[in-house]
Homo-oligomer: A and B are copies of this chain.
Amino acid sequence: MKAQRVEMFVCPMDNPHDTSELQRLADEGKLKPDTLVALAGKTEGTGLFDDWGRIWADVALREWTARFLGIGVDKVAERVIFVLSGGCPGVITPHIAAVTREWIDAPERTHGDKRLVVGRAGSEPIAPEEVGRMGMIDKVAEATRQAMADAGLSDPADVHLVMVKVPGLTNASIHDAESRGKTVVTHDLTFGPEGAGVYGNDGAALGVAKALGEVPAGSLSDAVVRRNWDLYSSVAMTSSGGEKRHGEVIVFGNSTTSLSPLRIGHSVTNDFIDAEGVRNALRSAGLKFDGLPSESDLSRLVHVFAKSVIPGSDRVRGQRITLLDDVDAYQIGKALGGMLVASVTGRTTNYVSGGERNSHQGPPGGNIVAAVVRA
Contacts and interface: CB of A to CB of B under 8 A. Distances in A.
Nearest to A293: B291
Interface in A329-375: 331-333, 335-336, 339-340, 342-344, 346-349
Which A-B residue pairs are the 10 nearest by beta carbons?
A: A291-B291, A188-B194, A52-B53, A50-B325, A275-B343, A273-B342, A339-B339, A52-B52, A93-B319, A192-B192
Contact of A50 (B195, B326, B344): B326
B193 A190 contact: yes
Nearest to A327: B48
Interface in A297-349: 316-317, 319-323, 325-328, 331-333, 335-336, 339-340, 342-344, 346-349
Nearest to A337: B339
Given A331-B332, A339-B336, A16 B52 contact: yes
A50 B327 CA distance: 8
A273 B186 CA distance: 30
A331 B321 CA distance: 15
A265 interface: no
Interface in A169-195: 186-190, 192-195
Contacts of A56: 16, 52, 56
Question: Interface extent on A, as a size class?
Answer: 35 or more
A50 B324 CA distance: 10
B322 A50 contact: yes
A322 B188 contact: no
A333 B336 CA distance: 10
Contacts of A187: 193-194, 226-227
A189 B324 CA distance: 11
A12 interface: yes
Nearest to A50: B325
A332 B186 contact: no
A7 interface: no
Contacts of A333: 90
Contacts of A335: 90, 332, 335-336
